[in-house]
Structure 1
Amino acid sequence: MTVDDTRPDLAPRWRVLGRTPARPIGGANGLRIGPDGALYNASAFGNQVSRIDPDTGEVTVVSARGSAIVSPDDLAFDSEGVLYVAECMDARVTALRDGVYTVVADDVLGANGITVFEDRIFVGQFIPGGSILEVYRDDRPARLVAADLDGPNGLTIGPDRLLYTALPFAGQVARVSVDGGEVEIVLEGLAAPCSCRTGPDGRIYVGLGGSGEVVAFDPATSVTETVGHGRPGMDNLDLTADGRLFASYYIDGAVYELLPDGRSREIVAPGLMAPYGLAATTAGLCVADGLGAARITADLTLERTDKITDPGFPGYVRGVCASPDRTAMFVTNNLGMVTRHAAGSWTSSETWAEGLGECTGVAARGDGVVVADSGGGRVLELPRPGETVELATGLGRPSDVAVTADGRVYVSDEARGTVELITAGSTPTVFADDLSIPQGIAVDGEGLLVCEVGHRRVVWLPFDGGGRHVVADELPVGEDGTLRPTVNGLPMMIPGPIAPFAGVEVDEDGTVYVAADQEGSVIALRRA
């Protein structure tokens, strides 16, 4: 973690201990060599298309968050340099030429892998039982190329004029004629193959998200060999005309060049995709980061730990809190599930509840846990596995919860702009109002810390009602005084909506951690 006292603006007697590096890219998905020889990357959860200099790593935004392209997951160019982007969460294919956006196809559920061959556009549906379609620039309906595939992804056309696709869930690579016909499985037993690209030597290069390796398949001889060594979490790859091999990582936004000698060269540094909830545990600060998890150690080093494709990982993770003794943690996900884990152990858990709604913040209370159901306007208590008690209903949009040592429950309501005290069987009492999008809250001594996203600050609210005190201002949370965009989620895979959430946590030594979701970092503060 690096130290930077220039941001945020701090109150007297507070100092910045450090911060993790800001993310250049909020999860790096589709990767393609452009007509200019640069790398082009699609970031689905970052809502951004970027141009990357393959030698210097300089990142230039091509289509920014908030533009006409939403949730870009893969991309390809035609012979005239027109960029086509598959928007996985918005079921579209959009063309971008000279700053002009044109929707080529919509209602393409799970639109993901895309390739252009002889200026024909092919797109795969990354859903169970998905299809590969040919879509057209005019008003013709999409044409079915192949159906009933298990999440086709990362398309390419081989020298044999066959379309190759990775099937991550089945561990296979399949091929089919661009005109349709019988689907043939050409590779099996692979570790979560994520993408296929055709190399300058005519071989089909396949990235393996589960192992981080890249294998090359010769369509003429069916001979396969390992040609690249990255790390798990790979999303996509591409090759230059002279055979340089590059890979992108959905888990942390990194891009690497995979060298022939087995080493890798960092092009774009890894970072946090969100982050969301934070929990100070005996295993360090645990970070819920959507598609994965991370840990911040005692010396403020950020370490990636687990990811959504690991067996046992609890889905798209949102909130996390420590148990009272900090040896365990509770986690919420996008499916309304609450799980209990040993501290830092994301892939081994006990399920406490399922189907609770759009759960975000979570806080331990005794042997149980309290959860904010943002979408349902509720605060729930789970005193033990399988038992759910409604503590409050009819709230606006509860975002986070905090529990004091004597068991009082507070909830931040980002829709109402309040923090409220919850008492079972009674109407919630407003503890603080006129807050601008309050999200993460945490108990800090004789008061509450609140991440006020609308004002980009953290404030301290004393329990005795002694006003509010700004701890840190000009924080990189939210987006320009409002929330980052809510994304629709991946159909049948990672259901949405997935709204932003900036958590805050206090460690036993008084260190305050803020999830700076605008830039993808965690900032550590402490009283001087």
Structure 2
Amino acid sequence: MKLKLFPSAATLALLIAVSACQEFNELIPLGANSKKGPKPLVKEIASGAVIKGANGINFGPDGNLYIGSVNGQEIIVMNSQTGKILNRLGPNVGVTTPDDLAFGPDGSLYWTDIFTGFVKRRTPEGVVTEQFVAPGVNPITFSEDGRLIVGLCFLGDGLYELDPNLVDAPRPIIISTPENPFPLGFLNAFDFGADGMLYGPIFAGDILVKVDINRPGPPSTSPYTDGTVTVVSAGFTVPVAAKFDSKGVLHVLDQSGGVFKVNTETGEKTLFATLEGGMDNLAFDSKGALFISNAESGSVVEILPSGQPRTVSGGGMIGPMGLAVLPGANNQDALFVGDLYRLRKINGLTGRLENTYKGDLLNGEGNLTTSFSLSADGENLIVSSWFGAVVQVWNPQTDQVVESFPVGAPIDALRFKDGIVTSDVGLGGVIWASDHSMILPIDNATVFAPSGLATDGERLWVADWGTGIVWQIDFNGNIPKAPTILATGLANPEGLAWDSDGTLVVVESGASRLSRISLSTGEVTKIADGLKLSAPAAGLPNFPPTWWFDGVAIGQSGDIYVSGGGKNVIYKVSKF
């Protein structure tokens, strides 16, 4: 399997760009140039889940269900019977990107922050401590005798034992090497069996394995520095989590939708329940009831003894970002929404969901990537993903990738002249996707963090999230001329779209508003404010400052669509 992971070069460039733009942005009043215009009609035409992606789950000593949400940057405390959210633990208490969680013998809450690489602990008294392991730290569990084990998955590969006090250095059990960078193939959510073995799924394979964390394998035949791995069961599609119930029966989730019971002696698996795809993790309460989280839809369900699901917290969009409009049936807008793991098609008139397309977290060749920003390209869409480090041309009719361009950390991309242009904070500016040649470089003096792009076919406009400037670039053929400033004083501009009336519309994420820019004067006029937009990344200095992109698109009638990631909604702003 060909894996495309977030590149280290992009991370370095992002660190420079983000720190510089944050410093520069302090010098510019937010929205200094904006003027008020007529008040339009703003409607929420589609809404999503209350959880922005449900990842690791576990029951605490208080009997409540704790849910990690990477996308939401929070740990949610929920009443598992009613679905009521009792508390949200966020960046203010050190939670940044919690992927999995566990409780220690003393009742402390432990979680893995997958993007930062830290394992963190919150005592019952609320004291938080942390220890760095490596980016990609993901599954976490305790053995019956109190040993703390964590693994790397997606952004790294390996297995470690930690001091539960997070003081002594991590003990490597299985590590990657230059010769063997993926020794496990991403061991995901795991659990200890009664035999003392660690059981878990290989996400990039089709197998369930057990690991002896005490006995080293023969160096001549094994790539592992400590621990031996044995295949227990095979034939899964995308196995993602494995946990034992109180009777010692191993339950395995497959992201394709299957919940299996596995005989650990024979490897035989029995289908117990079939759910919506995108499942992430599972936990058993004190009475033995099984609960399952879904990363792609944000839902949590209980599986009844009959195998039927009971909804605890409903699913839907978890992070609407990039938007694009294609002509739909009966002259209606076919609105496409980038929603991280899924790309959704929505009826622009009714807001009804018409289709869902699954993105590939591992960026397998020929598969649709995780979708962050979108733009229309004839009958196709241009999809960009800074997590996948790729820009794709994708056909919604066939669900096929037409073209694919490996890049660094693309924020937005569109068709321009005879090529594709992308704002890429990993490669250092606005570039041609085909050969990475530079159009507008990040110089850390006037340009810091290019985000949204727009074009009328002849000119290119670039929003800089860091400075609040919108740049205009004219071209001599395919050769860019010196950029000029069209507008200033915008508050962290992200989504940008050209309107045929001679204006640009722009999402100002730092001011929760949608604005219009005159192409003739550069005057900025407010269209709508009070929008619930996505917040910048908290506690993640090495990632794009846009975090989850706030997109905008203009429909055939002139109506404007805006993604409200803060509330998980799609806004429709009527033309005036």
Shorter-chain TM-score above 0.5 = yes
| Matching residue within 471, 480, 485 for 1:420 | 471
User: Quick one: which of 359, 371, 382 aligns to 1:317?
Assistant: 371
- Name the CA distance, whole Å, in 1 between partners of 2:102 and 2:306: 29
8 A contact 1:124–1:133 mirrored in 2:
yes
Out of 305, 313, 321, the position equivalent to 1:276 is 321
* Equivalent position SS for 1:246: strand
* SS at 2:510 equivalent: helix
Cα deviation per residue 1:92-139 (whole Å; 9 max; x = unaligned)? 211111353443532244211111123221111215883322211343
Per-residue deviation, 1:436: 1.4
Query: How far apart in 2 are the matches of 1:497 and 1:400?
Result: 13
Residue 228 of structure 2 aligns to a residue whose secondary structure is coil
CA contact (8 A) 1:90 1:488 kept: no
Q: Secondary structure at the match of 2:41?
A: strand
Structure 2 distance, partners of 1:220, 1:336, is: 41
Superposed counterparts of 1:351-500, under 5 Å: 351-355=403-407, 357-366=408-417, 368-381=419-432, 386=434, 390-393=438-441, 394=443, 395-404=447-456, 407-424=458-475, 425-444=480-499, 445-465=501-521, 467-479=523-535, 483-485=536-538, 487=540, 499-500=547-548
Counterparts of 1:66-215 in structure 2, within 5 Å, are 66-98=92-124, 100-103=126-129, 105-117=131-143, 118-127=145-154, 130-138=157-165, 139-146=167-174, 148-180=183-215, 181-209=227-255, 211-215=256-260
Which residue number in structure 1 is paired with residue 575 of structure 2? 527
- Deviation of 1:297 after TM superposition, in Å, equals 2.1
- How far the C-alpha of 1:179 sits from its partner, in A, is 2.9
**CA positional deviation for 1:462:** 2.4
The question of 1:343 aligning with 2:371 is answered no
1:143 alignment partner AA = R
Q: Number of residues paired by the alignment?
A: 502
Deviates more, 1:388-397 or 1:53-62: 388-397
Q: Distance in 2 between matches of 1:367 and 1:343?
A: 21
Instruction: Indicate how the Cα distance of structure 1 residues 388 and 121 shifts in structure 2: closer, same or farther if over 3 A, else same.
Output: closer
- Equivalent of residue 557 in structure 2, options 506, 509, 516: 509
- In structure 1, what is the Cα distance between the partners aligned to 2:90 and 2:510? 21
Taking a change above 3 Å as real, the CA distance of residues 37 and 399 of structure 1, as seen in their structure-2 partners, is same
The range that moved more, 80-89 or 495-504, is 495-504
Q: 2:37, 2:286 → 1: CA distance?
A: 54
Query: TM-score scaled to structure 2, two decimals?
Result: 0.80
Provide the rounded CA distance (Å) in 1 between the counterparts of 2:111 and 2:400.
37
Matches of 1:286 and 1:488, distance apart in 2 = 30
Could you say which residue in structure 2 is the equivalent of 1:3?
none
Alpha-carbon separation, structure 2, partners of 1:78 and 1:391: 52
Q: Which residue of 2 aligns with 1:239?
A: 284
Higher relative strand content: 1
Any unmatched runs of 5+ in structure 2? 1-35, 176-182, 216-226, 329-333
Give, as a single letter, the amino acid of the residue that structure 1 aligns with 2:50.
P
| Secondary structure at 2:372 match in 1 | strand
Separation of aligned partners in 2, 1:119 and 1:112: 19
Output one character per residue of 1:243-275: Cα deviation in whole Å (capped at 9) or x when no partner.
322111111221112234443222222233333
- Asked if the contact 1:164/1:175 (under 8 Å) is kept, the reply is yes
Please give the per-residue CA displacement for 1:275-307, whole angstroms capped at 9, x wherever unaligned: 321111236211222333222124212353213
Residue aligning to 2:360: 308
DSSP 3-state at the match of 1:522 = strand
Separation in 2 of the partners of 1:354 and 1:448? 29
1:317-372 deviations in Å (ceiling 9; x for gaps): 3221002x4x1111122254322121365x521225322x3221223335543322
Q: Secondary structure at the match of 1:149?
A: coil
Q: What code does the residue aligned with 1:225 have?
A: T
Deviation string for 1:178-215 (max 9, x for gaps)?
A: 53443211011111111111112210111111x21111
CA distance in 2, matches of 1:487, 1:436: 20
In 2, distance between residues paired with 1:40 and 1:289?
Answer: 24
Q: CA 1:344–1:67 in 2, change beyond 3 Å: closer, same or farther?
A: farther
Quote how far apart the aligned CAs of 1:154 are.
0.8
Q: Is the 8 A contact 1:291 1:307 kept in 2?
A: yes
RMSD: 2.7
Residue 434 of structure 1 deviates from its aligned partner by 1.3
CA distance in 1: counterparts of 2:149 and 2:405, whole angstroms: 41
For residues 19-70 of structure 1, the C-alpha deviation after alignment (integer angstroms, 9 at most, x for no partner) is 3225422211101122232211111232111112111111233421343132
Matched, 1:295 2:333: no
What amino acid is aligned across from residue 344 of structure 2 in structure 1? A
Match of 1:330 in 2: 382
Q: Where does residue 336 of structure 2 map in the other structure?
A: 286
Give the whole-Å Cα distance in 1 for the aligned partners of 2:522 and 2:157: 58
What does 1:6-25 correspond to in 2, within 5 Å? 12=38, 14-25=40-51
Assess if the C-alpha contact under 8 Å between 1:105 and 1:136 holds in 2: no
Inter-partner Cα distance in structure 2 for 1:486 and 1:518 = 17
Does the CA contact (< 8 Å) of 2:133 and 2:170 recur in 1?
Answer: no
Looking at structure 1, the residues matched to 369 and 359 of structure 2 have their Cα atoms a distance apart, in angstroms, of 9
Distance 1:392 1:420 in 2: 9
Structure 1 SS opposite 2:356: strand
1:207 touches 1:235 (CA, 8 Å); kept in 2? Answer: yes
Instruction: State percent identity of aligned pairs.
Output: 25
CA distance in 2, matches of 1:348, 1:263: 34
| Alpha-carbon distance in 2 for matches of 1:429, 1:129 | 42
Contact 1:105/1:135 (8 A) holds in 2: no
RCO higher in structure (CA 8 A, sep ≥6): 2
Q: Distance in 1 between matches of 2:305 and 2:37?
A: 51
For 2:272, the equivalent position in structure 1 comes to 227
TM-score (norm 1): 0.87
1:7 corresponds to: none
CA contact (8 A) 1:128 1:150 kept: no
Measure, in 1, the Cα distance between the counterparts of 2:155 and 2:465: 35
Distance 2:297 2:533 in 1: 18
1:369 to 1:66, Cα distance in 2 relative to 1, 3 A: farther
